[in-house]
Amino acid sequence: MKTGSKGPTTLTREPRDAPQFYLTAPSPCPYLPDRQERKVFTHLIGGRAVGLNDQLTLSGFRRSQTIAYRPACERCRACVSVRVKVNDFRATRTFRRVMEQNADLAGLVGRTEPTSEQYSLFRRYLDARHGEGGMADMTVLDYSMMIEDSHVESRLVEYRAPDLNAPGETQLTAACLTDLLADGLSMVYSFYAPDQPRRSLGTFMILDHIERARRLGLPHVYLGYWVEGSQKMAYKARFLPQERLGMNGWERVG
């Protein structure tokens, strides 16, 4: 409060750590042909990062390292944030079969510390599944930054299977970088052995995270964006009931 000859004057000042938002230039959409994408983003750094990440996730943002982003396309609203309703989720027969097929896997929650074994699996996954995607050229340093560069509560879940060629040893089969939020788990990025399709490892990791959230008493598992018309993202619609973020907030489906 400043006092002058004309009486008291209130001074207002924007907090120094208030988030600043930026808009990317248009670029080709990775999900739908003949469309352009733009994103709005801000930085997740400092003491406010954890709370800000919680708030922005509720508003449809996703995290990548120290960046929170959300699609901001001018003529398209196809990207829809999706979260599974943990307490109401009931595994179908197909899902139960996937769990049985992976009963030999041990899921180990660890710190976000990259290893050469992780990068080897990550590289195999990219080459087999996303050889032409935006992450195709990621080096071991890029991978390390993806795992380590975070100011929020993150964990890396490793899924290990018995090594049939070395009794008593295990081998990394899948992994998921996961954020712990106030109201759920957010699956930031997952990858897995591409030469074991019968395991349905991508589906298994989601099912495992639903169970982990249930044990932690958390109501949601955030899956990122479901994109209607994109075959890459179609699998997310199978996990019901779920909520999708629309113009009227989070709306239940299933």
In this structure, are 126 and 25 located in the same domain?
no
Which long-range contacts link 31-36 to residues 24+ away (Cβ below 8 Å)? 31/78, 31/79, 31/227, 31/229, 31/230, 31/232, 31/233, 32/76, 32/78, 32/227, 32/229, 32/230, 35/73, 35/76, 36/73, 36/74
Which long-range contacts link 61-65 to residues 24+ away (Cβ below 8 Å)? 62/186, 62/188, 62/224, 62/225, 63/150, 63/152, 63/179, 63/186, 63/188, 64/146, 64/188, 65/145, 65/146, 65/149, 65/150
Distance (Å, rounded) from C-alpha 227 to C-alpha 51? 27
Lowest mean pLDDT among 7-16, 36-45, 137-146, 150-159: 7-16
- Residue 214 structural domain: 81-253
pLDDT at 8: 43
Distance (Å, rounded) from C-alpha 138 to C-alpha 27? 19
Question: Residue 248 sits in a domain of what CATH number?
Answer: 3.40.630.30
pLDDT at 27: 93
Residue 106 has pLDDT above 80, yes or no: yes
Asked, for residue 117, whether it belongs to a domain, the answer is yes
Asked, for residue 159, whether it belongs to a domain, the answer is yes
pLDDT at 16: 56
In this structure, are 104 and 45 located in the same domain?
no
Residue 3 has pLDDT above 50, yes or no: no
pLDDT at 36: 94
In this structure, are 32 and 104 located in the same domain?
no
Asked, for residue 3, whether it belongs to a domain, the answer is no
Residue 2 has pLDDT above 90, yes or no: no
Beta-bridge partners for 37? 27
DSSP 32: S
Residue 136 has pLDDT above 90, yes or no: no
Residue 5 has pLDDT above 50, yes or no: no
User: pLDDT tens-digit profile of 30-60?
Assistant: 899 999 999 999 999 999 999 999 999 999 9
Average pLDDT score over residue span 188-204: 97
Residue 73 has pLDDT above 80, yes or no: yes
User: Which is more confidently placed, 128 or 4?
Assistant: 128
In this structure, are 36 and 66 located in the same domain?
yes
Residue 170 has pLDDT above 50, yes or no: yes
Among candidate residues 134, 100, 112, 111, the one with its CA nearest the CA of residue 203: 100
Query: In the sheet where 249-253 sits, what is the strand order?
Result: 106-110, 154-162, 170-181, 184-192, 220-227, 79-85, 242-246, 249-253
Q: What percent of the chain has pLDDT over 70?
A: 92
Angle subtended at Cα 137 by Cα 107 and Cα 144, rounded to the nearest 5 degrees:
45
Distance (Å, rounded) from C-alpha 111 to C-alpha 229? 36
Q: What percent of the chain has pLDDT over 90?
A: 83
* Mean pLDDT taken over the chain: 92
The count of domains in the chain is 2
In this structure, are 41 and 129 located in the same domain?
no
pLDDT at 65: 96
User: pLDDT tens-digit profile of 217-239?
Assistant: 999 999 999 999 898 899 999 99
Listed residues 31, 58, 79: the one ending a domain: 79
In this structure, are 168 and 85 located in the same domain?
yes
Residue 197 has pLDDT above 80, yes or no: yes
Residue 17 has pLDDT above 90, yes or no: no
In this structure, are 205 and 122 located in the same domain?
yes
